[in-house]
């Protein structure tokens, strides 16, 4: 949630700040602001409600110049989205400005205390207490003041601070919220995500919890550990290609990321099959322990949870191990039964989702071991698990998860095969067949991308509905859940997914000619049953969009629209049907005039409960 940027060096800070905030806007876009130290004693803070474009206009109009500044794009937690609650927040003197990602849990208590000592507050945010705490501790040393202030905080924070006394310095720190720094001949940079820095440097340092970095205008960066002693971290080289953070000719990131999926699936599975065996070197240390497991619990949120539902089928079919799949926000408040024979698989694209992180922590405290699947190698989820697997989807910028979902599913399939082999349930012939089948998926996805005109026709037919129902069975049902989520989140159209066999137990009462029904009717063991369900909803007047296997002409007679997908083993069907549903949701959202990359009320990573 939220994005932080900062620059100190040679040149105009505002250019870097605005460009960086635009890059990080996918992380939050309720309001944005910058603080620029123009010269000693002169700090200018500008905030605007709404998107970064609003702020950019204001910064230009007001002609803000200065070579040291910090910026923030916000997804509101404490305090409504407004100019007054937008970051940066300042202290009583107006000399200190702070930008913050995360949540300060004890802010009410601190605020009372600060109020009683005469501080005046301008906003409803938790962040503002930090500016006042720094104000109280500042005696000419920003690092020391920041350390003193953060020692009072309970919660999570990534922080960047400037002081008008120090026009050549930015102090940054973090706890459970990412902060990345880097430098070049131009100066020193900070971001809450390396993507804000990659145009300036490819070598970055991920700051560790409770460490402080002091960025200087000549590009030098001093690092201090939790014990306040200097240390010298090794930078991490970021090897994303230059196109990663740009739309490269696509109208939006969502479409770009949908089109990247054939390549992503190939990248995800690359190297997993070696000489008739599965290859998971990342799990070597857990190898003998994995032989002892008698249960698996999968945790995740949203789309990642849906990937988990698919993985349950893989694991139970191929490894014959009982699996439960839990929404992380529910899991953490139950009394789950786990022990040292339980494998927990945490699925999180960002590696930052607060509920999933907590679920990992709880599971490990009960003796279970956790393997995390993530797209962010240095993320907390990766670091706080016993092992992690990189889904290799490359950075995903559109708020709606697309390519990360496919990568998760493909990798979970490989992992389930691996465990199936370990449990003695599968042999080299199964692996060979599986390898050939999954290797065909990228080309099959490309085929679906070519179906866009037909998908657009279906989208037009459904875009005026007030609600869309998705039905399917088995893997088709999970794809429906994911399809309905995509539609809801980017088009704001109400959508529900039901197991097709369940509709006559209630949901069919919703059906009339105004409620289109999307049915996953690909070839599977339950195909005939799904056809019966199509007839049931058709009889109630519903307009029907079927996702069917190419060559299935009979389905045309029963439905109004058909989107054909290539023939594929049923277990891999989510890798293709979901692509059709992603495009379907996007087309409807565009028809309705929605911003598909930055849907209202959402942000890319949910780092708060
Ligand atoms: C939906 C979507 C969200 C995320 C969820 C979990 O398109 O993106 O539902 O899947 O917030 O996020 P991660 O995977 O980062 O834990």
Q: Are 64 and 42 in contact (CB under 8 A)?
A: no
Ligand 1 pocket (Cβ < 6 Å) reads 301-304, 348-350, 353, 356, 400-401, 485, 489, 605-606
Residue to mutate (ligand 1; options 1, 257, 325, 349; most atoms within 8 A of CB):
349
- Determine the pLDDT at residue 242: 59
**Token pair in block for residue 198:** 């990659």
What would the pLDDT profile of 69-90 be if each residue is shown by its tens digit?
999 999 887 778 899 999 999 9
- Determine the pLDDT at residue 313: 97
Q: Which atom of ligand 1 is nearest to the CA of 301?
A: 6
Mean pLDDT of the chain: 95
Ligand 1 centre distance from Cα of residue 236 (Å) = 26
The residues spanned by each domain of the chain are: 3-238, 247-439, 448-591
Residues 6+ apart with CB under 8 A from 153: 104, 106, 110, 130, 133, 175
Q: Which of 67-81, 158-172, 317-331 has the lowest mean pLDDT?
A: 67-81
Active site residue 2: yes
pLDDT at 7 over 70: yes
Alpha-carbon torsion angle 452, 458, 461, 462, nearest 10: -110
For atom 7 of ligand 1, which residue has the closest CA? Answer: 400
Helix and strand element counts for the chain (H, E): 20, 27
For atom 11 of ligand 1, which residue has the closest CA? Answer: 302
pLDDT at 358 over 90: yes
Q: Which of 116-130, 326-340, 541-555, 593-607 has the lowest mean pLDDT?
A: 593-607
pLDDT at 50 over 80: yes
- Determine the pLDDT at residue 530: 98
Q: Which atom of ligand 1 is nearest to the CA of 605?
A: 15
Alpha-carbon torsion angle 527, 529, 530, 531, nearest 10: 90
At residue 63 the predicted structure's pLDDT band, cuts being 50, 70 and 90, is: confident
Ligand 1 centre distance from Cα of residue 301 (Å) = 6
- Determine the pLDDT at residue 528: 97
Q: Which atom of ligand 1 is nearest to the CA of 356?
A: 16
Among the listed residues 313, 367, 378, the one whose alpha carbon sits nearest the alpha carbon of residue 343: 367
Ligand 1 centre distance from Cα of residue 28 (Å) = 14
pLDDT at 608 over 80: no
Catalytic residue, chosen from 2, 414, 462, 571, is 2
Burial of 134 (0-12, 13-18, 19+ CB in 10 A): buried
Measured distance CA(593)–CA(609) in Å, rounded: 30
CATH node for 448-591: 3.40.50.10490
For atom 16 of ligand 1, which residue has the closest CA? Answer: 348
Phi, psi of 2 (to 5 degrees): 65, 155
Percent of the chain with pLDDT over 70: 100
Q: Which of 37-46, 97-106, 500-509 has the lowest mean pLDDT?
A: 37-46
- Determine the pLDDT at residue 39: 81
For the chain, what's the residue count? 609
Neighbours of 465 (CB within 10 A): 16
Percent of the chain with pLDDT over 90: 88
pLDDT at 288 over 70: yes
Q: Are 96 and 53 in contact (CB under 8 A)?
A: no
For atom 5 of ligand 1, which residue has the closest CA? Answer: 302
Burial of 350 (0-12, 13-18, 19+ CB in 10 A): buried
Active site residue 462: no
- Determine the pLDDT at residue 429: 93
pLDDT at 243 over 80: no
Phi, psi of 156 (to 5 degrees): -120, 140
Q: Which residue is associated with the tokens 């001093």?
A: 222
Q: Which atom of ligand 1 is nearest to the CA of 302?
A: 9
pLDDT at 241 over 70: no
CATH superfamily of 247-439: Glucose-6-phosphate isomerase like protein; domain 1 (3.40.50.10490)
Q: Which residue is associated with the tokens 């009982």?
A: 322
CATH superfamily of 3-238: Aminohydrolase, N-terminal nucleophile (Ntn) domain (3.60.20.10)
Per CATH, 3-238 and 448-591 having the same topology is answered no
- Determine the pLDDT at residue 390: 97
What would the pLDDT profile of 382-399 be if each residue is shown by its tens digit?
999 999 999 999 999 999
Measured distance CA(390)–CA(409) in Å, rounded: 12
Ligand 1 centre distance from Cα of residue 602 (Å) = 10
What would the pLDDT profile of 277-287 be if each residue is shown by its tens digit?
999 999 999 99
Measured distance CA(286)–CA(508) in Å, rounded: 47
Q: Are 297 and 363 in contact (CB under 8 A)?
A: yes
For atom 13 of ligand 1, which residue has the closest CA? Answer: 348
- Determine the pLDDT at residue 75: 86
Ligand 1 centre distance from Cα of residue 604 (Å) = 7
For atom 10 of ligand 1, which residue has the closest CA? Answer: 303
Q: Are 453 and 459 in contact (CB under 8 A)?
A: no
Ligand 1 centre distance from Cα of residue 457 (Å) = 28
| Strand spans (E) along 488-552 | 494-499, 517-521, 544-549
Ligand 1 centre distance from Cα of residue 353 (Å) = 8
For atom 6 of ligand 1, which residue has the closest CA? Answer: 301
């Amino acid at each position: 949630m939220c994005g932080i940027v900062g620059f100190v060096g040679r040149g105009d800070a505002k250019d870097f700040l605005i460009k960086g905030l635009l890059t990080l806007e996918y992380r939050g876009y309720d309001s944005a602001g910058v603080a620029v130290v123009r010269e000693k004693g002169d700090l200018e803070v500008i905030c605007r409600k709404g998107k970064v474009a609003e702020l950019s206009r204001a910064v230009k109009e007001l002609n803000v110049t200065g070579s040291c500044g910090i910026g923030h794009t916000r997804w509101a937690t404490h305090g409504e989205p407004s100019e007054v609650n937008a970051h940066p927040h300042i202290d009583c003197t107006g000399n200190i400005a702070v930008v913050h990602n995360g949540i300060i849990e004890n802010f009410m208590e601190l605020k009372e205390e600060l109020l009683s000592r005469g501080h005046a507050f301008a906003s409803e945010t938790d962040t503002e207490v930090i500016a006042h705490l720094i104000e109280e501790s500042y005696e000419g040393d920003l690092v020391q003041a920041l350390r003193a202030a953060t020692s009072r905080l309970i919660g999570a924070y990534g922080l960047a601070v400037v002081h008008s006394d120090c026009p050549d310095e930015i102090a940054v720190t973090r706890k459970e919220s990412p902060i990345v720094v880097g430098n070049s001949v131009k100066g020193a940079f900070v971001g809450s995500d390396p993507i804000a820095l990659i145009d300036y440097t490819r070598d970055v340092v991920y700051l560790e919890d409770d460490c402080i970095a002091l960025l200087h205008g000549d590009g030098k960066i001093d690092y201090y550990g939790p014990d306040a002693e200097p240390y010298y971290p090794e930078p991490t080289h970021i090897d994303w290609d230059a196109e990663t953070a740009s739309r490269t000719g696509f109208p939006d990131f969502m479409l770009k990321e949908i089109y990247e999926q054939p390549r992503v699936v190939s990248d995800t599975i690359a190297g997993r099959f070696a000489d008739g065996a599965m290859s998971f070197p990342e799990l070597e240390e857990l190898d003998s322990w994995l032989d002892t497991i008698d249960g698996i619990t999968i945790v995740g949120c949203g789309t990642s949870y849906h990937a988990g539902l698919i993985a349950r089928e893989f694991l139970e079919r191929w490894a014959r191990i009982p699996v439960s799949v839990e929404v992380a926000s529910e899991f953490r408040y139950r009394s789950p039964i786990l022990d040292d024979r339980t494998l927990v698989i945490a699925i999180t694209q960002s590696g930052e989702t607060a509920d999933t992180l907590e679920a990992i922590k709880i599971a490990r405290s009960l003796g279970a071991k956790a393997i995390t699947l993530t797209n962010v190698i240095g993320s907390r989820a990766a670091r706080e698990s016993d092992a992690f697997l990189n889904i290799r989807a490359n950075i995903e910028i559109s708020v709606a998860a697309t390519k990360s979902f496919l990568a998760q599913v493909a990798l979970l399939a490989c992992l389930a095969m691996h465990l199936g082999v370990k449990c003695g349930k599968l042999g080299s012939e199964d692996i060979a067949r599986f390898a050939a089948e999954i290797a065909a998926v990228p080309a099959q996805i490309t085929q679906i991308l070519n179906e866009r005109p037909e998908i657009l026709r279906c989208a037009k037919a459904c875009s005026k509905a007030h609600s869309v129902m998705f039905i399917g069975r088995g893997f088709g049902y999970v794809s429906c859940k994911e399809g309905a989520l995509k539609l809801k989140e980017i088009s704001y159209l109400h959508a529900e997914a039901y197991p097709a066999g369940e509709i006559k137990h209630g949901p069919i009462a919703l059906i009339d000619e105004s409620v289109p029904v999307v049915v996953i009717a690909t070839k599977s063991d339950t195909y005939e049953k799904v056809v019966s369900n199509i007839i049931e909803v058709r009889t109630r007047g519903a307009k029907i969009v079927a996702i069917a296997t190419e060559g299935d002409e009979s389905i045309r007679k029963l439905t109004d629209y058909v989107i054909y997908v290539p023939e594929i083993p049923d277990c891999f069907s989510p890798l293709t049907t979901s692509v059709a549903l992603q495009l379907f949701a996007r087309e409807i959202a565009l028809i309705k005039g929605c911003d598909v990359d930055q849907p209202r009320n959402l942000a890319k990573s949910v780092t708060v409960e």
